[in-house]
Amino acid sequence: MSPFETIFQSVLGIINEIIPLFVKYREFILVTAIFGVFVLLIEIFKQAWLFHRRNLYRQNTEQILLEIKIPREVTQMPQAMEQFFMNIYSLRNAPGKFVEIYLDGEVSLWWSLEIVSFGGRVHFYIRTPKKYKRIVESALYSQYPTIEVEEVKDYFEQIPATTKEIYQKGYQIFGSELKLAKEDAYPITTYERFELSKEEMAMDPISVFIETLAGVHKEEIVCFQILIRPAGTEWQEAGKELIDKLAGRKKPEKKGGFGAAISEWIKNFLWAPVEPPIWGEPPKSKEEKIDFALFKLTPGEQDVIKAIEESISKPGFDTVIRYIYYAPIAIFNWNFAIRGLVAPFNQYASPRLNFFRNNFLVASIGRWIHFPYIMWRQRAEGRKQRILHNFRERRMPEELTFGQFYTSHPLNFNTKSKTFILNTAELATIFHVPTEKTLVAPHVKQVESKKMGPPAGLPIFEQE
């Protein structure tokens, strides 16, 4: 008998055994299937309702764009911007009540930090919910008294909304997102490592961004977008577990609960005539061995654990970093789009800790060698249109499974964009007002005169 016939006979034998069981328990199987379908429909309806209510909440939350105009003299270090992010974190509005979740559709709001180059002229923006405008302005002025913050129109309106319109104008576009190479608890290199002292900076990391963006052609536009949303404490708990794993600490054994308590009572009751009962954990023996795993770590491994401990001690933000490169087809530079614009992020890399890498599952590029190897031009076009839409709308990745399915396309599933955690120090390293040590002129338009401080008693809160 050939191997194929042997496999066929085995499959046939299994089917012959299953059919009688199915016939015997058909009522039970049918009831179970109906119940499973009912539960599935309830979950689909729940997610569809949440998706609808959340979209309404986002649409009803008015957003505005603020431009930060840089003065000629900025002495504040990036630590000042870290304090600004501390203030932003306090605005976290995680929904918790039934009405907030299912009726209001409330979601945690987010902000967009943007660095944009229009033909070599660099601008800094913050997009914020309008109801938080005064708070954001006050937080910025408290750390940078000499800057100017002005509400402006959305600059992205000068870029067409569809790729078809872009091609008709004779332009090409590329977009992508970045992601962390390791777990969120591993930090990137922050501004503290760039500083020599409070009086002098060894290198302002924002200067690399400015030099890169200032070198583009006068007809090119480059936009960096950093979406931030205050996160909970789950990532910090995961960081503590990671520290225990790296240190070689054993996880504490979980108590057995009510059943273990009953067993302990019966045991003590039976042995009471022989020895006194012992309740709870038995006393540790003097001969118990001490775990020396932590002392066996190398200095480098100890530095990694210390860096993770410092990282999770600060508030974190769910973060998305994406960028767009828009230029005439005649001068469009693919190498600059794919590699050159990611280069400024290499300065934050630490081989032992964390670093950024390009998320090519989102990047608006495709080749025949990429899975699933068919219709690669159409798939690349779908990615390009999606990242163009997400950039314009400043959209965070969809969290609901129904939302991901609803917003997907047969050639472009909306499941590849992911958030990661950056703490306040990491965000301040990437996005802050350039210091006077940075040669920003003539790349950044500066405020010519120093502006007086805001009047006392300036209202901070506004009516929604």
pTM, entire model: 0.82
SS3 158: helix
State how far the alpha carbon of 193 is from the alpha carbons of 86, 136, 348, in Å.
20, 27, 10
Residue 64 identity (one-letter amino acid): I
- Going from N- to C-terminal start, the domains of the chain cover 1-60, 64-231+315-447
What local confidence, expressed as pLDDT, does residue 256 receive?
Answer: 56
What local confidence, expressed as pLDDT, does residue 286 receive?
Answer: 47
What local confidence, expressed as pLDDT, does residue 410 receive?
Answer: 81
Q: Would you say 49 and 43 are in contact if contact means Cβ atoms under 8 Å apart? A: no
Q: Would you say 427 and 319 are in contact if contact means Cβ atoms under 8 Å apart? A: yes
State how far the alpha carbon of 232 is from the alpha carbons of 81, 312, 421, in Å.
21, 12, 10
Tell me the angle at which helices 299-312 and 234-247 cross, rounded to the nearest 10 degrees: 170
Cα 228 from Cα 422, distance rounded (Å): 9
Q: Give Cα 445 to chain centroid, integer Å.
A: 30
- Ranges under pLDDT 70 in the chain: 1-4, 195-203, 251-261, 265, 268-295, 368-373, 437-464
Kindly state the helix (H) or strand (E) to which residue 173 belongs, with its residue range.
Answer: strand 171-180
What local confidence, expressed as pLDDT, does residue 196 receive?
Answer: 45
Cα 94 from Cα 108, distance rounded (Å): 5
Cα 75 from Cα 89, distance rounded (Å): 24
The residue assigned the tokens 């046939």 is 12
pLDDT digits (tens, 9 = 90+) for 328-352: 999 999 999 999 999 999 999 988 8
What local confidence, expressed as pLDDT, does residue 193 receive?
Answer: 77
Q: Which two tokens stand for residue 367?
A: 């080749």
Residue 332 identity (one-letter amino acid): F
Residue 41 identity (one-letter amino acid): L
DSSP string, 325-358: EEEEGGG--HHIIIIITTGGGGGG--TTS--EEE
Question: Which residues are bridge partners to 21 per DSSP?
Answer: none
Q: Give Cα 128 to chain centroid, integer Å.
A: 17
